[in-house]
Structure 1
Amino acid sequence: MQRKTLSDRLFDLSNTALFIVVLIVILYPLYFILIASISDPVAVNSGKVWFWPANVSWKGYAAIVNHHQIWLGYSNSLFYAVLGAGISTAVTISGGYALSRKDLFGRKVIMLFILFTMFFQGGLIPTYILVKNLGMLDTMWAMVIPGAVSAFQIVIVRTFFQQTIPDELLEASMVDGCNNLRFFFRIVLPLSLPIIAVIVLFNAVAQWNSYFKALVYLSSEELQPLQIILRRILIENQSSEMMGDLNSAQEKAKQAELVKYGLVIVASLPMMVLYPFLQKYFVKGMMIGSVKG
């Protein structure tokens, strides 16, 4: 191995220091919310909590666990994220693959219409009228069907298939008696795990964080996702139902602060758990299915 010069070592040291600073900037806000969720709100508001929790209290998490509406919204958000990500991924992968095939008649015109929607959209009012006329208003389908297809994701998937699945692979499979449907499920999909993981993660995060669609399309409380409930608590700054029989207004305010910080952590857990299982596909590269000559 070639010995590193002093300039190389200084370059590596500066890069390491820069990445450490970036990592701290990204992770510290989440860490602060975590310690603030179990710290005395007075100490947090006075700036005494920086690196370690002060006067640890689990009252906020206890109130969250004992609140039925939060867990109902939590289960709704999980359901919308799983169902929405499944529908979006299925439509996006199949649509992107079809548009990547050179034998698809009119694919350039279809792609032009798809790209057109990236710059011009109908707006909220026509979309609301369409959802209402389709009978999806105040149903779970209003959360997963509108916006199930993203033009940006279609472009990404189409580019992936064009660069990863060579025409020679299709021709060889056709010679062996493989039809289009079998080629897609038996060959294309197993070679497309990286892009599938990317699309699943994109759509799951989008569905989990979505609250505007629920705000517009849903009126029943039993269908509302966690984000609507979290928004309500953050706006009201307190919930008499969650505060229980606390006598002091100051104690109620303290517990409301703990609940707000705790809800942020609880709402972030599913995505933090999902990402480690999918991130390995990001580092495998986009040419995993290429043919070696």
Structure 2
Amino acid sequence: MESSFLSESRGDRWFNIINYTFMALLLIIVLYPVIFVVSSSFSNKDAVSAGQVLLWPVGFSLEGYQAVFRDPAVLRSIAVSIGYTVAGTLINVTLTIMAAYPLSRRDLWGRNWLMGVFAFTMFFSGGLIPTYLLVKNLDLLNTPWALLLPTALSIWNMVITRTYFMATIPDELLEAGQIDGCNDLIFLWKVVLPLSGPITAVIALYYGVEHWNQYFNALLYLKEPKLYPLQLVLREILIRSQMSSEMMGDSAQMAEQAGLANLLKYSLIVVATAPLMLVYPYVQRFFVRGVMIGALKG
């Protein structure tokens, strides 16, 4: 009787079959472009230009990566992007927690009014030209601060973090800390932060991805090549390769340069995304928990 009760019904079996089939198709749709890009980056440029790469590398070659790393600006830009990502993420996470924790406290006077002010900036901004003029008047143009300070705080991430604090840090814990003599800073440092690992990992990942992929702000505010992040340098390499192939007079050289330009596209994608793909598995276990608690509870 118990085994028949626990066994799946016919409807459940069909549901599982349809569900697994759908998820498998979805996995293929999502995973195939990644495999194709990686395989193309390790293939021969002639095979890439001819469209012969479907799943596995054809004519294994590292020519694309050699062309990318042959440019000395690439290694410099990787170090610069790492610096932007680390420094920017530290600034972002610090300011987000400093804003989110007070707004999660029910004893903060004017908390709802302050949240309204923060929320207003999510929907209305000064626009591109006023922001550029502000950065210029602050003498931040052509400095690393132009990429760090204008995006120092994301209101959306702050709201998620605030909701997480409200859902996971009970008032009784604060009262117990105050009885033991904790002030607000000690309570935040020794109690709140150790209990907030999941949401800290989530917002750090959000901010880190944003800084690593930043392109438009660097194009807008930076003029010195030594300050260019990786994305901007890779863009210039791709543009140079395409222009050189168009300016070649000999048809054979044009075809060779065009093939190299096609190969470079895939190599550049792998170089730009590989660091994030290597970091993500380490924070994945915090990611789902932090997002679900921070977004749904409270």
TM-score of the superposition, structure 2-length normalised?
0.89
Q: How many residues align?
A: 282
CA displacement at 1:22 relative to structure 2:
1.2
Matched, 1:117 2:121: yes
Measured in 2, the distance between the counterparts of 1:65 and 1:287 equals 42
- Residue 46 (structure 2) pairs with residue 42 (structure 1): yes
Is the 8 Å Cα contact of residues 233 and 260 (structure 1) preserved in structure 2? no
1:20 CA displacement: 1.3
- Map of 1:74 onto structure 2: 78
The amino acid across from 2:196 in the alignment is S
Matched, 1:60 2:64: yes
* Matched residue SS, 1:194: helix
Moved beyond 6 Å, runs of 4+: none
1:1-293 equivalences in 2 (<5 Å): 2-238=6-242, 248-284=253-289
Deviation at 1:220, TM superposition (A): 0.2
Which residue number corresponds to residue 243 of structure 1?
none
Matching residue's letter, 1:111: M
In structure 2, the residue corresponding to 1:117 is in which secondary structure?
Answer: helix
Q: Which residue of 1 aligns with 2:247?
A: none
User: What is the SS of the residue equivalent to 2:61?
Assistant: coil
Q: RMSD over aligned Cα, in angstroms? A: 1.9
Instruction: Name structure 2 gaps, 5 residues minimum.
Output: 245-251
Q: Distance in 2 between matches of 1:284 and 1:154?
A: 17
Identity of aligned residues (%): 46
Q: State the alpha-carbon separation in 2 of the partners of residues 212 and 55 from structure 1.
A: 36
AA aligned opposite 1:255: L
The equivalent residue for 2:249 is none
Offset, 1:284? 4.0
Tell me how far apart the structure 1 counterparts of residues 108 and 133 of structure 2 sit (CA, whole Å): 33
How far residue 180 of structure 1 moved from its aligned partner, in angstroms, is 0.9
How far does residue 237 in structure 1 lie from its aligned partner after superposition?
Answer: 4.0
Q: Unaligned regions of 5+ residues in structure 1, if any?
A: 241-246, 289-293
Q: Distance in 1 between matches of 2:207 and 2:293?
A: 22
